Structure 1
Amino acid sequence: MTRFGKLLSATAAGALLCATATPAFAQDATDALLLKLKEKGILSDEEYEALLARKSTSTNTVAATNSAKAPQQAAAERLDDKKLVRTMDSGVGLMIGDVAVKLSGSINGFYVHDDGDAATAANTVAGGLATVGNQTSSVRNGLLPGFIKVDVTTNQGGWDVGAHFGLYPGINSNLGNSGANGAGSPQALQTAGIDARQTYITFGKPNFGEIKIGRDIGLFASDAILNDITLLAVGTAAGNAAPSNTSLGRIGLGYIYTDFQPQITYSSPKFGGLQFAAGIFQPLTTIGRSEVNSSPGFQAKVTYDMVPVDGGFGAHAWVSGLIQKHDSDGILPEYTGKAIDFGAKLSYANFGLTGYYYTGSGVGTIGLFLLSTDGLGGKRDSDGYYIQGTAGFGKFTVGGSYGRSNLDLADGELVSNLVRSNESYVGQLRYGLTGWVTLIGEYTHTRSEAHNGNDATSNALAAGAILFF
């Protein structure tokens, strides 16, 4: 065997010995092996000193590296990732293992002064939303009550899974058991209610879409209220003398309230900016009737989004609809209510323009299936619209809107003081005090007209703030 071969064999033997021994034993064994090779003449004095120096440098480097890594490695070995708690990349919440827990919420309050027409026979409008009576002042919630929402999401078996809860407490006192949004009771020793509007589960995949089961906002007319500037403020201040936990905003004055409803809905993935959703809903009864409905309601919506780039042109457009069959209550005949709406919100830089329209038959006005039929069960047609503009100047945003809802008489129905239209003008000024807090001042003029010519008007001033986190 050549000298080089002997050296290679010796080094391999040393490496094998080091690999199988404990660190302390391996170091001593290697030193002894090198010394024996030198004594046998296999290694010269120079080779022996060079190898010894190289081994010493390598050992010190590895020891230093291991010493630096030891705390992290030890922590990693002790770590159970399913129990790891860490902050989220964004939002208010935390990560617990692979489960995200997010919190979001809002609180608002406004001083509202409402001045309506005097209460006379000529000002009586059944279903009218303008205030009739004395001037009133209140400290109240706006169109939104407060809310706290909890979203718990994760991925299991390739599915994005979520549990969602939304509780909506208000600042105003409620009358007895009238419900969270029932009649107000501005008296001592009263309490505010909590409206559990949202309780639903979601599961989906990026290429599959998402299924939602539970209680959440409806599809029909949801974009109408979500894009309304009065959502952040008060709008029409019905019931201001004894306020409940919500005002009207523009509900019944440009659109029908979408409501929060039990549902099973499917939302598709986005195809570019296009997305559609459809679902079956708990059938709603006609307000004032006691029918039992045998089939669910159906709702659907299609949306299109164009995201603005560098403050350029952006757009959000939608069309939605609903249909529901109402069975006979044994006295009044069955009927089917149906409606469709469409709208768009356009934006450029700090300017926005929104337009909306709906039309329906047998769906009523203000709320779904309220005043939808006459006393003989005949269907009433209805429609409505609003137009809205906003402009931003630094922290200030100026907004204005006009909207109107119309209700027709059923075929053969006699003329009465039933509401023919509710309309309002809104002017609004907002100031972004902080990233969370917005200060708002608002003026709303409301007018109601009956089919027999009666009418009523009211004017409301509101000032307050809303916080989102």
Structure 2
Amino acid sequence: MKAYRTRLKAAVALACLLGAAGPALADTTDDLLLALKNKGILSDAEYQQLLARKQAEPAPAPVAAASPQAESAQQSAAGALDMSHYVKMADKGVGLQIGDVNLTFSGSVNGFYTHDSGASATANHTVAGGLASVGPKSSAVRNGLLPGFLKIEVTTQQAGWDVGAHFGFYPGINSVTAVGGANSAGNPVALGTSGIDFRQTYLTFGRTNIGEFKIGRDIGLFGSDAILNDITLLSVGSTGGNAAPSNTSLGRIGIGYIYTDFQPQITYTSPKFAGFQASLGVFQPLVTIGRSEVNKNPGFQGKLTYDWKGDSFGVHAWAGGITQKHNSTDLLPGYTGSAFDVGAKLTYGGASLLGYFYDGKGVGTTGLFILSTDALGNRRKSNGYYIQGTYTIGKFTLGGSYGASFLKMTGAEKADRDAGAPAGLYDPTLLDRNSSWVGQGRYGLTPWVTLIGEYINTKSKAQGGNHATSDTVAAGAILFF
């Protein structure tokens, strides 16, 4: 009611100012003040105070009647001024302000011509979990690691809290089968349709001195900085299949880091203290790929970041972790998968250098809990890293990176291999290593549009010696608003 009365007082004050334009408007103002008092919105003291203030104002000098053309111009100017109060261009995206509520739109669109030369489809090129392309040469017009996206955010302040609702739509440009989700296998046939991946649906509330709480579906904590600082996020990287492209490529997923994924969560992020900020979350437990599970306990993820920036030198560093207990229902033992990661990005002028490393047991490779155990339920170890450098001169940026992800056999698999594989645990085609080199050039055509050219060499190697190599060239553009 206090806020409501304050707004009405402002309206009354405006009416008093308008009343100075002439006797007719002055009488209208008197009537308005009286009506507000009779309705109990203004007290007797407030009514007398405002009425005395209006009556004490000097009478305005007569104003010549304006021509119809002048009145039209004044109305147009007033309308434009009023509109500028509500509609604005945000720092990123387009913003619309309605009273105390901010509605912002941001998004991205990209497309690339990609030519891929994969290894021939022979037995010695078979790698289970390998990410190098196998098969004939192919060309595609496709999305890169990012599909397109449109993010809508509604934020305001209520009762001293900053609150917000966030929605993220991620549509691709390529047709997909739609079997298994929006980012299912590609389906390049006539009359096909692309998928829309609704990755983000979450609410936030917080205060500057308390921090922020997030509830809903959003990007995870473990591995998030690895992908968000990867140069292939803006481009293609390893294709993950180019003859029938899906809505996304792989970039460096599975070739230097495990994909963080977008996951249901309840997460708390602290305020920043001397450059440090901590996040901790409770996550929907993920099922191990290929196993039957009903998990009793949630997953947990955490991350600590540090940021510092001087006149020309900057530091962004992070350390994170993940742990989740898996309860099996397929006669295999349960297990706990856990991992940690560390990384740092240093910037100096137009140059940057990044290093990243992760190590885990029972978390798998490429995606969380993929190939994380052997056939007996024993945990496999995995780790990986990537290094990256960029240099920007004006609108041009040159970048390069190398990374690899490794999967280790369990003790049972090694024993079975050494015994000649009588138990059938040892699979010689099981992935040992995925690695890639990336060379990239970017040109900032406009503040929104970036042109990108890229070369990628991807290699996969199996535990038994099988290997595959593919070479990819990509060129296209990405737009952010």
TM range (shorter): 0.7 to 0.9
Q: CA RMSD in A?
A: 1.9
Q: Counterparts of 1:218 and 1:244 in 2: how far apart (Å)? A: 22
Pairwise mapping of residues 292-303 of structure 1 onto structure 2 (< 5 A)?
Answer: 292-303=294-305
Q: Is the 8 A contact 1:112 1:138 kept in 2?
A: yes
Larger mean CA deviation between 174-183 and 440-449 belongs to: 174-183
Counterpart CA distance in 2 for 1:285 and 1:66 is: 78
Matches within 5 A, 1:89-108: 90-91=91-92, 92-108=94-110
Matching residue within 184, 187, 201 for 1:185: 187
The 1-side partners of 2:358 and 2:57 are apart by: 79
- For 1:256, the aligned partner's letter is I
Question: Taking structure 1 as reference, are residues 335 and 66 closer, same or farther at Cα in structure 2, changes over 3 Å only?
Answer: farther
Structure 1 counterpart of 2:456: 444
Q: Does residue 466 of the first structure (1) align with residue 463 of the second (2)?
A: no
The answer for the alignment partner of 2:206 in structure 1 is 204
| Distance (Å, rounded) in 1 between the aligned partners of 2:399 and 2:372 | 32
Seen in structure 2, the aligned counterparts of structure 1 residues 89 and 139 have a Cα distance that, compared at 3 Å, is closer
1:126-169 deviation digits (Å, cap 9, x = unpaired): 00000111000000000000000001000000000000000000
SS in 2 for 1:63: coil
Aligned with 2:468 (options 453, 456, 463): 456
Matching residue of 1:328: 328
- The 3-state SS of whatever aligns with 1:318 is strand
Q: Percent identity?
A: 64
Confirm or deny: 8 A CA contact 1:183 1:244 kept in the other structure: yes
What letter is aligned with 2:150? I
Cα distance, 1:443 vs structure 2: 0.2
1:142–1:249 Cα contact (<8 Å) kept: yes
How big is each residue's C-alpha offset from its partner over 1:235-261, in whole Å with a ceiling of 9 and x where there is no partner? 001210000000000000000000000
Give me the whole-angstrom Cα distance separating, in 2, the residues matched to 1:329 and 1:373.
15
Distance 1:96 1:115, change over 3 A: same
2:146 corresponding residue in structure 1: 144
Question: Which has the larger Rg?
Answer: 1
Cα distance in structure 2, aligned partners of 1:336 and 1:266 = 23
Q: Which amino acid aligns with 1:63?
A: P
Distance change (3 Å), C-alpha of 1:347 and 1:166:
same
Q: Report the more deviating stretch, 168-177 or 107-116.
A: 168-177
DSSP 3-state at the match of 1:344: strand
* Paired positions, count: 397
Which secondary structure does the structure 1 equivalent of 2:225 belong to? helix
Aligned counterpart for 1:131 among listed residues 118, 122, 133: 133
Following superposition, the deviation at residue 60 of structure 1 comes to 11
**Structure 1 residue matching 2:409: 3-state secondary structure:** coil
Partner residue in 2 for 1:194: 196
Distance 2:286 2:355 in 1: 28
Distance 1:176 1:356, change over 3 A: closer
Partners of 1:195 and 1:453 in 2: how far apart? 37
**Cα distance in 1 between the residues matched to 2:62 and 2:398:** 62
Contact 1:88 1:95 in 2 (8 A): no
Give 1:307 shift: 2.3
Matched, 1:417 2:429: yes
Alignment of 1:395-414 (within 5 A): 395-413=395-413, 414=417
SS in structure 2 of the partner of residue 122 of structure 1: helix
Equivalent pair of 1:116/1:130 in contact (CA under 8 Å)? yes
In structure 1, distance between residues paired with 2:286 and 2:353: 33
Task: Give distance in 2, aligned partners of 1:66 and 1:207.
Answer: 54
Q: Which runs of 5+ in 2 are unaligned?
A: 1-21, 24-55, 65-70, 72-81, 418-425
CA-to-partner distance for each residue in 1:341-378, whole Å, 9 max, x for gaps?
A: 00000000000000000000000000000000000101
What CA distance in whole angstroms lies between the structure 1 residues aligned with 2:91 and 2:62?
A: 35
| SS of residue matched to 1:231 | helix
CA drift at 1:90: 3.7
Cα distance change on mapping 1:99 and 1:450 into 2, 3 Å: same
For each residue in 1:25-60, what CA deviation from the matched residue of structure 2 results, as whole angstroms up to 9, or x when unmatched?
A: xxxxxxxxxxxxxxxxxxxxxxxxxxxxxxxxxx99
Show the 5 A alignment for 1:113-132: 113-132=115-134
Pick from 160, 164, 169 the counterpart of residue 166 of structure 2: 164
Moved over 3 A (4+): 59-62, 64-67, 88-91
Distance in structure 2 (CA, Å) of the matches to 1:237 and 1:88: 36
Cα displacement (A) at 1:383: 0.3
Aligned equivalents of 2:324 and 2:366: distance in 1? 17
The alpha carbon displacement at 1:330 in A equals 3.6
Residue aligned with 1:173, SS: coil
Taking structure 1 as the reference length, what is the TM-score of the superposition? Answer: 0.82
* Cross-structure match for 2:289: 287
Query: 1: CA distance between counterparts of 2:273 and 2:156?
Result: 24
Describe the SS at the equivalent of 1:412: helix
